[in-house]
């Protein structure tokens, strides 16, 4: 079994180790554009030694943003704002990844550090949010509009258009956001999707939108570049989406050209009780890897280098995605390498502080 600091080759992309920066909302954009915050946030984590640096959930359409301050990728200006950041990530030896997202019924919400609730139209929120069925996520969320089949087809094409823009911006990996109760996940769950047409009811119908998005993105995304999908492996609710369905979905997504399933959980049922704890989602990555025969990523309360090393060495997952721990310490991969007795290359600018001490003059 490989270790945390062994390379991972997926299609034509070789990642320098098994550590990725999980997509993390920064709530710092104006009009969906990337700016200096995103440059420094993403750039410093590439300097810190991660192999793969994901943007936050990046919306394929304005109304697909979780908050008015989310990143987006629906115009040339958006592509250009991201294209400024990608070469810097590349130059650090990391690969730049973008998570493509549509927030569905969880769109148009306030930033977490503001009082909670939907953003009123007068304050830049939007009038209408989309979902498979007209069922609100929770009391302070908008009641969504149940999409028509034409509207569904349009969103599939928006994902494909966003993938083309991601390619133009220089990204090497796309992750589809099919987790956390956002639009794709809303279609998967019989609790949020009560449709009676081709997009609701049976497992095949509920997964149709996810499969169509993956297929449409794969059509425009080069053969040589990896495609990931983040899913919620369970929604912790009786009669809802669960691990058995996730394994089936992973098999189906593999057929559509998805290379790796990033295994998260929750987010579609506001009352769900989630059994949080160190590495609590790792067993989902393990089960999906084993039973669907696809690469997986483990995410969720992974904070410790020995813990991350064990996830990889035991074969539970092929990579780890760190989120909050990489907010605390952008240099976590460099620190983890030292703790695990591994040598990794440091940025030349920082070498005098590196594991081998000051370079000789």
Instruction: Write the binding mask 231 to 270 for ligand 536: x where contact by CB under 6 A, - elsewhere.
Output: ---------------------------------x-xx---
From the candidates 27, 141, 182, 236, which is the catalytic residue? 182
The least distance separating ligand 536 from the CB of residue 25, rounded to whole angstroms, comes to 5
Under the criterion CB under 6 A, does residue 32 sit at the interface with ligand 536? no
Q: How many residues bind ligand 536 (CB under 6 A)?
A: 7
Under the criterion CB under 6 A, does residue 43 sit at the interface with ligand 536? no
Under the criterion CB under 6 A, does residue 72 sit at the interface with ligand 536? no
The least distance separating ligand 536 from the CB of residue 178, rounded to whole angstroms, comes to 11
Under the criterion CB under 6 A, does residue 180 sit at the interface with ligand 536? yes
Q: Which is closer to ligand 536, CB of 104 or CB of 266?
A: 266
Q: Which is closer to ligand 536, CB of 16 or CB of 235?
A: 235
Q: Which is closer to ligand 536, CB of 101 or CB of 247?
A: 101
The least distance separating ligand 536 from the CB of residue 26, rounded to whole angstroms, comes to 10
The least distance separating ligand 536 from the CB of residue 107, rounded to whole angstroms, comes to 11
Q: Which is closer to ligand 536, CB of 66 or CB of 217?
A: 66
The least distance separating ligand 536 from the CB of residue 70, rounded to whole angstroms, comes to 8
User: Is 182 tagged catalytic?
Assistant: yes
Binding ligand 536 (rule: CB under 6 A), the pick from 20, 25, 147, 256 is 25
Q: Which is closer to ligand 536, CB of 264 or CB of 296?
A: 264
Query: By C-alpha distance, which of 234, 93, 286 is closest to 172?
Result: 93
Under the criterion CB under 6 A, does residue 160 sit at the interface with ligand 536? no
Instruction: Write the binding mask 82 to 121 for ligand 536: x where contact by CB under 6 A, - elsewhere.
Output: ----------------------------------------
Under the criterion CB under 6 A, does residue 57 sit at the interface with ligand 536? yes
Q: Which is closer to ligand 536, CB of 57 or CB of 288?
A: 57
Residues for the chain: how many in total? 361
**197 vs 187: CA distance, rounded Å:** 12
Name the closest residue to ligand 536 (Cβ).
267
Label each residue of the chain as H, E or C.
CCCCCCCEEECCEEECCCEEECCCCCCCCECCECCHHHHHHHHHHHHCCCCEEEEEEEECCHHHCCCCCCCECCCHHHHHHHHCCHHHHHHCCCEEEEEEECCHHHCCECCCCCCCCECCHHHCCCCCCEECCCCCCCCCCCCCEECCHHHHHHHHHHHHHHHHHHHHHCCCEEEEEECCCCHHHHHHCCCCCCCCCCCCCCHHHHCHHHHHHHHHHHHHCCCCCCEEEEEECCCCCCCCCCHHHHHHHHHHHHHCCCCEEEEECCCCCCCCCCCCCCCCCHHHHHHHHHHHCCEEEEECCCCCHHHHHHHHHCCCCCEEEECHHHHHCCCHHHHHHHHCCCCCCCCHHHHHHCCCCCCCC
Contact 232, 182 (CB under 8 A): no
Which spans of this chain sit near ligand 536 (rule: CB under 6 A)?
25, 57, 66, 180, 264, 266-267
Task: Give catalytic residues, as residue numbers.
Answer: 182
């Amino acid at each position: 079994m490989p270790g945390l600091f062994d390379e991972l080759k997926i299609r034509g992309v070789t990642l320098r180790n098994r550590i990725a920066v999980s997509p993390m909302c920064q709530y710092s954009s104006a009009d969906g554009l990337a700016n200096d915050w995103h440059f420094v946030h993403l750039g410093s984590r590439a300097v810190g030694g991660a192999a793969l640096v994901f943007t936050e959930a990046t919306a394929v359409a304005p109304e697909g943003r979780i908050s008015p301050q989310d990143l987006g990728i629906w115009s040339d200006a958006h592509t250009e704002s991201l294209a400024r950041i990608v070469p810097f990530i590349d130059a650090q030896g990391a690969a730049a990844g973008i998570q493509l997202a549509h927030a569905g019924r969880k769109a148009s919400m306030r930033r977490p550090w503001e009082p909670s609730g939907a953003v009123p139209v007068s304050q830049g929120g939007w009038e209408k949010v989309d979902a498979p069925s007209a069922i609100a996520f929770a009391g302070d969320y908008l009641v969504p509009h149940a999409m028509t089949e034409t509207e569904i087809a349009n969103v599939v094409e928006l994902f494909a258009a966003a993938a083309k823009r991601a390619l133009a911006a220089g990204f090497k990996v796309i992750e589809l956001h099919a987790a956390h109760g956002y639009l794709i996940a809303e279609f998967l769950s019989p609790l949020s999707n009560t449709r009676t047409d081709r997009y609701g009811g049976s497992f095949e119908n509920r997964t149709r939108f996810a499969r169509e998005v993956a297929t449409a993105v794969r059509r425009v995304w080069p053969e040589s570049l990896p495609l990931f999908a983040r899913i919620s492996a369970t929604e912790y609710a009786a009669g809802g989406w669960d691990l058995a369905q996730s394994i089936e979905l992973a098999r189906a997504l593999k057929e559509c050209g998805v290379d790796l399933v990033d295994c998260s959980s929750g987010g579609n049922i506001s009352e769900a009780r989630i059994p949080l704890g160190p590495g609590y989602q790792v067993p989902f990555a393990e089960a999906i890897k084993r039973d669907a025969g696809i690469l997986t990523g483990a995410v969720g309360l992974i904070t410790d280098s020995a813990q991350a090393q064990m996830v990889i060495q035991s074969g539970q997952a092929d990579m780890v995605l760190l989120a909050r721990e990489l907010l605390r310490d952008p240099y976590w991969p460099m620190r983890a390498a030292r703790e695990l007795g591994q040598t990794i290359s440091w940025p030349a600018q920082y070498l005098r502080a590196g594991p081998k001490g000051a370079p000789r003059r």
